[in-house]
Copies of this chain bind each other. A is one copy, B any other.
Amino acid sequence: MGLRELKRERTRRLIADKAFELFCHHGFGRTTVEQIAAAAEVGPSTLYRYFPTKETLVLEFVEDSLMGAVAWFRGQPPVDLPDGLQAVIERVLDELERNPDRVRAVYEMADQTVSVAAHLQALIWRFREELTEELVRRMSGPDPVVVKFTAALSAGSAMNIIETVVGMWVENPDGLDVRELARRAMGLLHGGGIPLPAAVPGPGDNARHGS
């Protein structure tokens, strides 16, 4: 490991940290790339060599969490479908829970800047696609279309659970048992259907029953 890679990692980290700092302080939209480059004491063209877009400065952390979980799953021995998905979900949640402030910051920026939300969603989409691919590799069936369909639906369910749990977690700053919610949501995978609250919505008393 040479001095070069060490320095590279250092500047990369420096840029990302300065960017995060400026984004939190002044907002994503009110921070220019030039300002970030100046704060990190590098030229703008150097910054672009490390981070292809402004959004990656914010979202690389999420990308690592999601793609890391898929990569980990690829190395795991075959297991039951629901169990495998559950493991992936827990892996992602573990990773995100490791630095909650960053997760919150990402969600805040996504809330107030369309392009951040958009790229975050694109990231989640890629996670879904790669997970689908891996599930297909692990599955077998007579009809490849049905296999692909099942895999995509499963990966989507995992994605849905992650998004929902993380969303609830971000909205309720403290005193929320993320794991309990996640466990509840997993019922979706195991055939329990949507876990309903105590009082379920039924047809209203005075309402015509719709078609």
A→B interface (CB under 8 Å): 76-82, 87, 114-115, 117-119, 121-122, 124-125, 138-143, 145-150, 152-154, 156-157, 159-161, 163-164, 167-168, 171-172, 176, 181, 184-185, 188-204, 207-210
Contacts and interface: CB of A to CB of B under 8 A. Distances in A.
Contact of A164 (B147, B153, B168): B153
A192 B191 contact: yes
Contacts of A199: 139-142
A81 B119 CA distance: 31
B141 A198 contact: yes
Contacts of A208: 77
Contacts of A138: 201
A13 B81 CA distance: 47
Contacts of A122: 114, 117-118, 121
B172 A164 contact: no
Contacts of A77: 203-204, 207-210
Given A148-B168, A197-B147, A203 B78 contact: yes
A81 B118 contact: no
A142 B194 contact: no
Contact of A191 (B119, B157, B193): B193
A-B pairs with lowest CB-CB distance, top 8: A191-B193, A121-B121, A141-B197, A118-B118, A156-B160, A77-B207, A118-B122, A78-B204
